[in-house]
Amino acid sequence: MAQRVYQVWKGKNKFLLKGRLIFGPDASSLIVTLMLILIPVIIFCTFVARNLIKEFAAQTAGYAVYLVAIIFTIQVLVLLLLTSARDPGIVPRSPHPPEDVSGYDSSASVEVGGAQSLQLPRTKEVFVNGLPVRIKYCETCMIYRPPRCSHCSVCDNCVERFDHHCPWVGQCIGKRNYRCFFLFVSSSALLCVFVFSMSALYMKFLINDYGTVWEAVKVSPASMVLMGYCFVLFWFVGGLTGFHTYLITTNQTTYENFRYRAQNSINVYDRGCGNNFAEVFCRRRESSKINFHGLENEELSKPPKGSIPAMPIGNPDETRRVKVEHSLEMGNDLLNISQWHDSQEAADIRTRATGG
Ligand SMILES: [Zn+2]
Ligand SMILES: [Zn+2]
């Protein structure tokens, strides 16, 4: 009987509902994240929001606090699930290495352990927005990674617009779940602010009633604990929200931010604050390149989308034209990938094959 794609998947992902939900290998950490959200909210609803109803002159104001806390929490949990349980933008593996290189230059072959084997160039150059970008060959996935794609060592997959692997959501953050991830982090920060302010408000009511802070703390220790917890957590989620807001406005990923800073290179994806913002928040989410629930044979018969597939061997002009078409197809998201940088390629193959 034919197996489903998720059953034979080579990455380290975990699946639920027959491949309809896809998690990272560390998805169990989600339980910790869930507890970090749910326990404080339950304490808040039980010991603060319920008592606040009595403190407000208009009871509806008290109920509103309750309602806002619950709606906020549901929103955070839904965003967490959407970030964690979906394909982050995995690029399908190729069943065999690209063949085009063998058509270019047989001098690229090298002696490995006495036997002659073909050495693929480790990198290629493509143009993005008129500027050269080096793309790398992934040994594991046997593809040339599209620009901004990186191989996650935790999940063992190449992921498009790879940002980072988030241990808190147990999933890669990439092209398809970045928006949800940002909304999850920013909503969590707002929930922190809300719980902190309402707990502080309740403390103020208690101080008015009992006269001293100490007496108020004795009446509602939960408020004090929640204020401390939210204060500490806000440094984390609030800081992360600020950092990702900066990354979005400058069109960088976390991965690129660390790399650019280290290499001091320019960001070729920056198209101005407004456009960068629109790229994350206004663009329709692309459908997944892999149907994990589908039957294995059907999926394998499709050419891998989004990767640089094996090119036909033959007339170099023909090959070049096909390459341009592929690069355009691959770069739907990347505005002007103009053409492959072929002029130096044969030379590059030689130098990189020998020099690494
Ligand atoms: Zn890979
Ligand atoms: Zn990952």
Written as tens digits, the pLDDT of the chain (356 aa) is 778 877 778 888 898 998 889 999 998 999 999 999 999 999 999 999 888 888 777 778 888 888 999 999 999 999 999 999 999 999 998 888 776 544 333 334 433 343 444 566 787 877 777 777 888 888 888 888 888 899 999 999 999 999 999 999 999 999 999 999 999 999 999 999 999 999 999 999 999 988 888 999 988 999 999 999 999 999 999 999 999 999 999 999 998 888 877 677 778 888 888 999 898 899 888 888 888 788 877 655 554 444 444 433 334 343 333 333 333 334 433 333 333 333 333 333 333 333 32
The pocket of ion ligand 2, defined by CB under 5 A, consists of 24, 152, 154-155, 165, 172
> Residue 297 burial by CB count (10 A; 0-12/13-18/19+): exposed, middle or buried?
exposed
Catalytic residue among 152, 166, 172, 230: 166
Crossing angle of helices 221-249/273-281, nearest 10°? 120
Q: 230 C-alpha to center of ligand 1: Å?
A: 38
DSSP string, 204-254: HHHHHHHSSHHHHHHH-HHHHHHHHHHHHHHHHHHHHHHHHHHHHHTT--H
Q: 150 C-alpha to center of ligand 2: Å?
A: 10
Q: How far apart are CA 52 and CA 110, in angstroms?
A: 75
> Which residue, chain included where needed, has tokens 């094996």?
310
Whether 172 is catalytic: no
Q: 10 C-alpha to center of ligand 1: Å?
A: 11
Q: 18 C-alpha to center of ligand 2: Å?
A: 20
Q: How far apart are CA 23 and CA 14, in angstroms?
A: 5
Residue 162: phi and psi, rounded to 5, are -60, 125
Q: 139 C-alpha to center of ligand 1: Å?
A: 7
Question: What is the length of the chain?
Answer: 356
pTM for the full model? Answer: 0.77
Return the DSSP state at 6: G
- Two structure tokens written together for 273: 């604050």
Q: Any idea which ligand is nearest the CA of 24?
A: 2
Say whether 294 sits in a helix, a strand or coil. Answer: coil
Q: Which residues of 274-290 are buried (b: 16+ CB within 10 A; e: fewer)?
A: eebeebbeeeeeeebbb
